[in-house]
Every structure is written in C-alpha cells, then in structure tokens.
Amino acid sequence: MANLTLVQAINQALAQEMERDNRVVILGEDVGVNGGVFRVTEGLAERFGEHRVQNTPLDESGILGAAVGLAIAGMRPVPEIQFEGFLGPAYDQIVNHAARFRNRTRGAITIPMTIRVPVGGGIHAPELHSDSPEAIYTHSPGLKVVMPCTPYDAKGLLISAIRDPDPVIFFEPKRVYRAYREEVPEEEYTIPIGQAKIVSEGEDLTIVTWGASVFQCLEALDDLPEDVSVELIDLRTIDPIDTDTIAASVEKTGRCVVVHEAPLTCGLGAEISSRIQERCFLHLEAPVQRVAGFDTIMPYYKLELDYLPDANRIGKGIRECLAY
C-alpha cells in the first residue's frame, strides 16, 4: 500500500470515481491545469479532459447553481469551493435548492453532488479562510456533512459521498492536508456515511471530536497519567451524527468531553451534549464538558493558535470532567 497524504488520497478517490463513472465531473476555480488552490485535482484535467474538469469564473453561487443543474440532468458533479468562507455567497444554492429538491419533487429528482470544501484554521490564512461552519449546514435538512481527518478515511468517505444520491458537503481539514501520511489501499473502497470511528478505547471518559482536532486530542492523551483510560471517538460524519456509538461509549465511561474548532455557542458540541443528556442521563457522573473555539471571529495568524483548542486546553477539560 502507498503511504499517502490527505491530498493524495482525495486525488486518488476522484480519479478512480471518474474512471468508473463518466457522469462524475469536477468544476471550480482553477481546478483544471492548476489543480486547484491546494493542488487536490492536480493531473485530473490532463487525464480526463477539460470537459470533465472544468475551470469556472470566480462565482461560488454560479458554481453550485451549475452543479445543481448538472445533477438534475443526470450527472454527478463534484464542485470545489476554494475556502469555507466562500460558501456564504452560495448558501442559497446549497440550502434552498440542492438540499430541498428531493422533498420539493416528492422524490422524483435528487441531487447527487459532492461539494468539496477545505475547512478550519491553523495554516496562517487571512480572514474568511479559516472558519469552521459545519454546524450551519448540519442545521439544514436535506444535506449530509462529512469531515474526515485521515487519508484512509478521506478516500473511503469521498467515494461514498460521490455515489450518494443526495447532496453531501465534504469538508477537508486543510491543516491536515500534507501534515500526516497513512497507508491507503490502491483499490477503491467505501466507508459508510454516518458511522463514527473509535480511535482508541477507554473506560474512564469519552472524547467526541472530528476533523483536525482529532490530532490535538491525541496529543492531550499523551500527557495524561497512565492510569487514566480515555475513549476517543472521531465522528467522521457530522450529519447524520452516529449517536449510537457516542451513547454506547458514554454509558460505559460516564463522562464526556466534546472538542471542536468552531465557536462554542450553538456549535455542534451543544447538540451532542443534548443527545447525551437525553440518552445517557442515568449513566452520567459529570456534566458534559465542551472545549471549543471562542465566540469571536477567527483571529489573524498571530493569535490563531490561541483560538484553536490545543492539547493544554483539551487536557484541562478532561481533568475537570474527571474531577467532578
């Protein structure tokens, strides 16, 4: 097996799906010969032709509007939005059209498109290039929201997303794009959307997280006393949330810390805490803790690392939950 980065695994998944199904097309700003802003689509225009890897004008609403039309016409578009902050101009196309077509047509028309979006902070980017808007789209019925953090998961989940009959927002943590390598099978495979992964098993406390924060949680676990046993869950899919896996873990450990980059208020941690309260109340030995970004706009790069939950803040949350 090849040792791939997240970028390479996603590129391989795109190539294999385009090879398998000629309805799969890519569109976005500079995705052609330039290979996209992060070079994720590098080489695909040369291999499959510019009619299947289409550069577009600087117009996010137009990119996703065109993708909705392509999907209605029977194609499987994979539009790329260069940074998560640029989803705003395309919000109408995503929430009011792509997400609603199945319901609007009583199932006669679905929108099988996968919106690829780099997400999150940690790369010293300017404003609108480092946000974590996953809760906004999780709140919109009709969409699936996926955020893998490892190359293996990214390949399997992206193939599942492209084959899904409904719209999927596929968030790619840009902080991990080239920071981590993993063995990835050459052959195609799928990972079910909606299935979380237990990264490490434990008995004393559960951590629920996703995206790049998985790696900060692993750092935090390294600093804990040896006799503290923590179960770490990577959601991988944010919507639908794998509540069964979370509940089974919390019923075992009795304590939970939710970690995410997005601002605390109305972040996904609030939804997860509520579900734990509903499903696991009689098993809880402490209130659910949340370690999250602050309720402010993501700061410029000099303060960026102070905003993001790091191993120290996560470790503090774990200790407070254990001490309750």
Catalytic residues: 129
CA–CA dist 287, 284 (Å, integer)? 7
CA–CA dist 158, 94 (Å, integer)? 18
Q: Is-contact 243 206, C-beta < 8 A?
A: no
CA–CA dist 282, 284 (Å, integer)? 6
CA–CA dist 219, 234 (Å, integer)? 14
Residue 105 CB-density burial (10 A; 0-12 exposed, 13-18 middle, 19+ buried): exposed
CB neighbour burial string for 92-104, b if at least 16 within 10 angstroms, e if fewer: ebbbebbbbbbee
Pairing of strands 76-80, 24-28: parallel
206: tokens are 């559960």
Collapsed DSSP state (helix, strand, coil) of residue 295? coil
Pairing of strands 197-200, 53-55: unpaired
- The 10 Å Cβ neighbour count of residue 203 is 12
Question: In the 8-state DSSP scheme, what is residue 285?
Answer: S
Q: 210: closest CA among 286, 303, 272, 163?
A: 272
Sheet holding 289-293, edge to edge: 197-200, 230-234, 205-209, 256-263, 289-293
Question: In the 8-state DSSP scheme, what is residue 245?
Answer: H
CA–CA dist 34, 92 (Å, integer)? 28
